[in-house]
Amino acid sequence: MLRALSSLFRGYVIIRARGGPLETFINRAVAQGIALWQLERAGPQLLVARVAAGDFLRLARTARRLGVDVAILHKAGLPFLFIRAGRRHAFVAGGFLFAALLYVLGQFVWFVRVDGADAVPHGEILAAAAHAGLRPGVRRDEVQRDVVERRLYLAIPRLAWASVEVRGAVATVRVAERAVLDADLHQPGHIVAARDGVVERVAAIRGQALVAPGETVRAGQPLISGMLAPGSADYLERIGQGQLPYVRAEGVVRGRTWYRGLGEAPLVLVYEEDTGRVHRYLSIKIGEREWRIGRPEAPFALVRWEQRTAAPRWLPGVSATWHVGHEIRRLEQPQDAGTARAAAVATAREHALGQLPAGVDVLDEQVSVWEDPAAGVVRAAVTVEVLQDLGRFAPVGEPVAAGAR
């Protein structure tokens, strides 16, 4: 590996040596400290090898003294690449220009897409985002995500939350539509944590933010309070009208949270197979009465039953059923520990991912595996870290965690 990298940076040539005492030629080269590698004897008097570009002239002098004909078949490495590029000034200039163009274009947003909207038209969301400064052609550092999200809330009341993400030249507006009735949109309350997590971003549209990025929150903890600030004009107006000093808190609190899935797989596989032995009996039913022809108990320790019933239409209430019992035996086959571990992890991962709500970004995954010899299984736990909206609406009066107003 080190020789390959050194050869790439220093440059090397592929040579052909023909005629003369090739064994002596190789030994002289080694004695002079000239490294030859990937030697191939194409014939009794023909040798192909690689040598560092800086050693070729010394090698050529040795070859002349021994009467060996040496020729260069190919030149490789960065020095030769730069030499060839230097002869093509337009090509080099074009490469630098193209790289500069890619860098400049990468500083702008060229595509804006919407994710999560069904009832709300995409065009309406894109128009609201453009009004807040998010449109194709805008510089990436000029996109103010909080401003865009706030504008989306105010312009489109049907949205429950919105989030803006810029990656490369693509900006994604992720939204969730309200699932509540219009009458509920004015119900006062708070935004509380639906799950434990660590806050990443807070965008309070209406109400007072009670948490900041970096804080750890617990399920039920208030995130955005719907209580009006005491002494404010709105607070005094509602108190004067005999109303509670609350509004419906609106906003988004995005944060990291975790979902855990468990799985297991047996170390010994148990499966069943038929032995070929069968036991049969017939039951005839007329109305509520039933007669059996043959013994219903099979003389097998393990049995798998099949039934076939015939009920002629021209004899209502009459049916005949054949009962066929197949003797089975259980077999055990040890399972490779690696296969069992992979199966347990796959089950745990499926369980964890099955809990994820829509619109989350998976950030990381932690896997732990251990054997349970007493139970004869391999167990696994997969913890998935995601970035999602941590909040849910809690009407005033609903019990919440300590800290609620």
- 144 touches 202 (CB < 8 A): no
Residue 315 has pLDDT above 70, yes or no: yes
Question: Where do the structural domains in the chain lie, given as residue ranges?
Answer: 2-82, 111-177, 260-267+335-389, 269-334
Q: What is the CATH number of domain 2-82?
A: 3.30.70.260
Mean pLDDT of 395-403: 66
Pick the most confident of 17-21, 114-118, 345-349. Answer: 345-349
Q: Round to whole Å and give the CA distance between 307 and 320.
A: 10
Lowest-pLDDT choice from 1-5, 70-74, 158-162: 1-5
> In the structure, what pLDDT confidence band is assigned to residue 219 with cuts at 50, 70 and 90?
very high
Phi, psi of 403 (to 5 degrees): 110, -10
Tell me if the domain spanning 111-177 has CATH number 3.10.20.310. yes
C-alpha closest to that of 368 among 263, 241, 214: 263
Q: Tell which residue, 72, 73, 95, 66, has the closest CA to residue 82.
A: 95
Q: What is the 3-state secondary structure (H, E, C) of the chain?
A: CHHHHHHHHHCEEEEEEECCCHHHHHHHHHHCCCCEEEEEEEECCEEEEEEEHHHHHHHHHHHHHHCCEEEEEEEECHHHHHHHHHCCHHHHHHHHHHHHHHHHHCCECCEEEEECCCCCCHHHHHHHHHHCCCCCCCEHHHCCHHHHHHHHHHHCCCEEEEEEEEECCEEEEEEEECCCCHHHHHCCEEEEECCCEEEEEEEEEECEECCCCCCEECCCCEEEECECCCCCHHHHHHHHCCCCCECECEEEEEEEEEEEEEEEEECEEEEEEEEEEEEEEEEEEECCEEEEECCCCCCCCCEEEEEEEECCCCCCCEEEEEEEEEEEEEEEEECCHHHHHHHHHHHHHHHHHCCCCCCCEEEEEEEEEEEECCCCEEEEEEEEEEEEECEEEEECCCCCCCCCC
Q: Where do we find the tokens 């849910």?
A: 392
Query: What is d(CA 173, CA 145) in angstroms, rounded to the nearest whole number?
Result: 10
User: Over the stretch 84-95, which tens digit does the pLDDT of each residue have?
Assistant: 665 555 555 655
Q: Exposed/middle/buried for 257, CB within 10 Å: 0-12, 13-18, 19+?
A: buried
Q: Which of 314-318, 342-346, 358-362, 400-404 has the highest mean pLDDT?
A: 342-346
**Strands 111-115, 170-177: parallel, antiparallel or unpaired by DSSP?**
parallel
Same fold yes or no, 2-82 and 111-177: no
Has residue 109 got a pLDDT over 60? yes
Tell me the per-residue pLDDT of 119-166, one tens digit each, with 9 for 90 and over. 888 888 899 889 889 989 898 888 888 888 878 877 887 777 788 888
